[in-house]
Amino acid sequence: MAEIRCRIRQLRRVVKIERVFQDRLNPLEVLSDEEIFRRYRFRSRTIMDIVEVLFPFLERPTKRSAPSICRSVNCVVKLLARMGVHRIKFPRLLGDTKAKFYSIAGIL
């Protein structure tokens, strides 16, 4: 196993492997409003409102901390759940809503 690692290191020194950087474009600036809604199921203004509400709670005081995606998602989900109690409103007629969900899912 050690021989394989040594050989890989030698090859990397000889063969330059070009690094590929992904394009980090902001989808809110690049995509149309319809494409944003199709992809994320939110309008761009709604996404910006959510970011404005959550950002103060997610910003790190040192501006250096970069937690892994797992921890970041966990933090965002907890914040959304906590704030959702006050912001998410369900329709009063649940029967109609259930029927719409069933028709979307193809359940009879």
Burial 18-37 (b: 16+ CB within 10 A, else e): eeeeeeeeeeeeebeeeebe
Residue 107: its pLDDT value, please? Answer: 81
41 sits in the region (left: phi over 0; alpha: psi -120 to 50; else beta) called left
Residue 15: its pLDDT value, please? Answer: 67
Residue 38: its pLDDT value, please? Answer: 93
| N-term to C-term CA, the chain | 58
Cβ atoms 58, 71 nearer than 8 A: no
Residue 32 pLDDT level (bands cut at 50, 70, 90)? very high
Cβ atoms 38, 46 nearer than 8 A: no
pLDDT (tens digit, 9 = 90+) per residue, 33-72? 999 999 999 999 999 998 898 888 887 777 666 777 888 8
Cβ atoms 57, 79 nearer than 8 A: yes
More confident residue, 72 or 17: 72
The arithmetic mean of pLDDT across residues 14-23, rounded, is 71
What is the residue-averaged pLDDT of the chain?
83
User: Tokens in use for 50?
Assistant: 């959510």
Distance CA 44, CA 33 (A): 6
